[in-house]
């Protein structure tokens, strides 16, 4: 396992895109913290950027990387190596290098400027989101043979999680506004890893009062230790389930 | 050594293999022949586990290969079109393969790397190599780990006559060492002195599996190429 992992990481490092991604995050987070005189405000601005950029870069880069490694995968599949090892090594290589990039690019500035519970929550959810979207990319790439289709699917998935899902939720809310939907909203937030992360961080920031009654219900559920635990279990499911489905597909794939 | 039992593989509506059964044993050098698209490469890839058959079994040394991987230690494969990570140099690729397979105490066979003259271009990136040079790398990798079974898909396509001859000599040598060698090729003339058996496939089905001598006797031809042409024509008219 570790041998193939090593080659994947080496290849990603040589690729330089991850390095540029790290620098980009570093520039964004440092400039935001320096522009705002209040680091808590800086954190809120950073939150929105991170919730857009991380999923986008992780899913697109990973999908393209997997397609570009088709030669590497083909070469290894005819060797005495388990298919599971190949697939999980690629997953581990992508998620560890992208997580490292996020930690250096955004995690370290956060620790320097705002190292409290909120900051640490933001780093943790950022790392989780990174791995979640690598895992979703593995699923998209394993299901489609055609590269353009696969990348298109990844972009659509990103759009869905970042924009379309929220639009659907709003639509749903307006259609059924006469009913008490607050508890259903708690459940629905588990259907989108980005929302789950956003809620966790916002609750840590103590601005849930701005969200009205729904905010209070969220606070009641997600604010407890149990709630935090359950939402991280939810995020972990978003990592494990797509990865396992993609592994199953890859095991039966013809190369 | 390799027993293939009634394997079926469909790609969508296309039947690439429809119920092929074959047995290969030690010391055999088998030519896998048939027109384009007759399922030769699919059969080879099924043995390698790169293609998963819809039904049927393949046994290697008495064990089913489905979901197994360790048996590939005993296989050397030279693909028709070798595809390698583009940014790696020849040395990178060779070292990576050695690294991945190295826990197993095998004596490495670097003869082909040397006789192909790859030593002079080890620092070249895979992307920059010509088709023929890539084939040389593929061949060197197939023989590198001294495997019991060699599977060569169109080994001489794209090689210059000199390199072709080097590879032929190497195949002859390994045949004498008692290895199973499976070759697909359309250049029939060069197979004559290499092979002992002929497997002929058409449209995903096995037409026959015979000893070379028996085949020559039946068709009354001295050369493999003439014998096969005769059969192809007969099949065509039938």
Predicted ipTM? 0.85
CA triplet A210, A212, A38: central angle to 5 degrees? 10
- CB contact at 8 A, B33 and B228: yes
Residues from chain B contacting residue A252 (CB–CB below 8 Å)? 52
Q: Which of B231, B196, B190, B191 lies closest to B210, judged by CA? A: B196
* Strands of the sheet with B55-60, listed across from one edge: B14-24, B2-11, B55-60, B63-64
Q: Looking at residue B238, what is its pLDDT?
A: 57
CA distance B90 to chain A (A): 14
CA distance A231 to chain B (A): 36
Q: Can you tell me whether residue B78 is helix, strand or coil? A: strand
Which A residues in the span 15-74 are in contact with B, Cβ-Cβ below 8 Å? 69-72, 74
Interface-testing mutation among B68, B85, B91, B106, with chain A (most A C-beta atoms within 10 A): B85
| Rounded mean pLDDT, B21-45 | 90
CA distance A159 to chain B (A): 31
Do the Cβ atoms of A80 and B85 come within 8 Å? Answer: no
Q: Any idea which of A131-135, A158-162, A199-203, A244-248 has the lowest mean pLDDT?
A: A199-203
Beta strands in chain B (DSSP E): 2-11, 14-24, 29-33, 55-60, 63-64, 75-78, 149-153, 180-184, 197-202, 205-211
- CB contact at 8 A, A202 and A195: no
CB pairs under 8 A between A and B: 59
Residues from chain A contacting residue B106 (CB–CB below 8 Å)? none
Identify the CATH assignment for B2-237 out of 1.10.287.1260, 3.40.50.2300, 3.20.20.370, 3.40.50.300: 3.40.50.300
Length of chain A: 255
Contacts of A3 (CB under 8 A, 6+ apart): B99, B100
Do the Cβ atoms of A83 and B97 come within 8 Å? Answer: no
Across A198-207, A239-248, B28-37, B104-113, the highest mean pLDDT is recorded for A239-248
Helix axes A39-68, A70-77, angle to 10 degrees: 50
Q: Looking at residue A22, what is its pLDDT?
A: 95
H or E element, residue A187: helix A182-189
Global pTM? 0.89
Token representation of residue A217? 């219900």
Q: Taking 70 as the threshold, does the pLDDT of residue B104 lie above it?
A: no
Per residue in A125-154, pLDDT (tens digit) is 999 999 999 999 999 999 998 999 999 999
| Rounded mean pLDDT, B154-162 | 89
Look at the alpha carbons of A47, A50, A56, A58 in this order and tell me if their dihedral is positive or negative.
Answer: negative
Per residue in A77-127, pLDDT (tens digit) is 888 889 999 999 999 999 999 999 999 999 999 999 988 888 999 999 999
Measure the CA–CA gap between B163 and B160, rounded to whole angstroms.
Answer: 5
Q: Looking at residue A25, what is its pLDDT?
A: 94
Q: Looking at residue A211, what is its pLDDT?
A: 66
Do the Cβ atoms of A254 and B52 come within 8 Å? Answer: yes
Of A7, A79, A254, the CB nearest to B72: A79
CA triplet B132, B135, B140: central angle to 5 degrees? 130
Q: Which of A144, A140, A139, A126 lies closest to A55, judged by CA? A: A126
Per residue in B219-230, pLDDT (tens digit) is 888 888 888 888
Per residue in A202-223, pLDDT (tens digit) is 888 776 666 667 677 778 888 8
Helix axes A39-68, A147-159, angle to 10 degrees: 160
User: What is the 3-class SS of B171-230, one letter each residue?
Assistant: HHHHHHCCCEEEEECCCHHHCCCCCCEEEEEECCEEEEEEEHHHHHHHHCCCCHHHHHHH
CB atoms within 10 A of CB B53: 22
pLDDT band at B237 (very low <50, low <70, confident <90, very high): low
| Rounded mean pLDDT, A162-174 | 90
Per residue in B188-217, pLDDT (tens digit) is 888 888 889 999 998 889 988 989 888 888
Of A11, A69, A78, the CB nearest to B50: A78
Residues from chain A contacting residue B52 (CB–CB below 8 Å)? 252-254
| Rounded mean pLDDT, B105-116 | 86
Q: Which of A93, A83, A116 lies closest to B65, judged by CA? A: A83
Q: Which of B168, B173, B172, B166 lies closest to B185, judged by CA? A: B168
| Rounded mean pLDDT, B54-67 | 89
Of B50, B77, B100, the CB nearest to A254: B50
Do the Cβ atoms of B48 and A78 come within 8 Å? Answer: yes
């Amino acid at each position: 396992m570790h041998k193939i992992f090593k080659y994947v990481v080496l290849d990603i490092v040589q690729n330089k895109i991850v390095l540029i991604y790290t620098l980009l995050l570093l520039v964004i987070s440092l400039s935001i913290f320096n522009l705002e005189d209040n680091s808590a405000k800086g954190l809120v601005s950073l939150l929105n950027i991170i919730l857009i950029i991380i999923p986008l870069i992780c899913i697109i880069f990973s999908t393209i990387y997997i397609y570009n490694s088709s030669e590497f995968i083909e070469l290894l599949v005819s060797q005495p190596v388990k298919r599971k090892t190949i697939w999980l090594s690629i997953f581990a290589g992508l998620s560890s290098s992208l997580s490292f990039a996020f930690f250096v690019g955004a995690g370290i500035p956060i620790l320097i400027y705002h190292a409290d519970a909120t900051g640490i929550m933001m780093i943790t959810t950022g790392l989780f989101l990174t791995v979640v979207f690598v895992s979703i990319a593995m699923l998209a790439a394993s299901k489609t043979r055609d590269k353009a289709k696969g990348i298109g699917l990844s972009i659509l998935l990103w759009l869905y999680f970042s924009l379309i899902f929220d639009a659907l939720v709003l639509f749903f809310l307006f259609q059924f506004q006469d009913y008490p939907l607050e508890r259903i909203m708690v459940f629905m937030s588990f259907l989108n890893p980005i929302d789950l992360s956003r809620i966790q961080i916002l609750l840590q920031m103590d601005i849930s009062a701005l969200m009205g009654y729904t905010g209070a219900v969220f606070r009641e559920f997600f604010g407890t230790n149990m709630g935090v635990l359950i939402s991280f279990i939810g995020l972990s499911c978003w990592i494990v389930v797509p990865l396992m489905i993609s592994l199953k597909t890859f095991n039966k794939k013809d190369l | 050594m390799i027993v293939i039992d009634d394997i079926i593989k469909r790609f969508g509506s296309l039947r690439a293999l429809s119920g092929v059964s074959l047995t290969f044993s030690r010391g055999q050098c088998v030519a896998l022949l048939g027109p384009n698209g007759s399922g030769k490469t699919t059969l080879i890839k099924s043995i390698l586990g790169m293609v998963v058959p819809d039904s049927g079994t393949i046994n290697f040394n008495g064990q089913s290969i489905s979901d197994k991987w360790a048996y590939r230690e005993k296989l050397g494969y030279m693909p028709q079109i070798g595809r390698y990570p583009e940014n790696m140099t020849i040395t990178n690729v060779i070292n990576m393969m050695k690294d991945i397979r190295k826990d197993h105490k095998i004596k490495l066979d670097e003869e082909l790397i040397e006789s192909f003259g790859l030593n002079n271009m080890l620092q070249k990136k895979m992307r920059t190599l010509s088709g023929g040079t890539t084939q040389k790398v593929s061949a060197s990798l197939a023989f590198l780990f001294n495997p019991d079974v060699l599977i060569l898909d169109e080994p001489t396509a794209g090689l210059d006559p000199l390199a072709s001859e080097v590879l032929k000599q190497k195949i002859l040598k390994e045949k004498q060492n008692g290895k199973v060698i499976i070759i697909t090729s359309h250049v029939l003339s060069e197979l004559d002195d290499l092979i002992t058996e002929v497997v002929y496939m058409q449209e995903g089905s096995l037409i026959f599996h015979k000893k070379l001598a028996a085949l020559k006797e039946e068709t009354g031809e001295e050369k493999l190429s003439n014998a096969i042409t005769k059969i192809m024509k007969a099949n065509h008219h039938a």
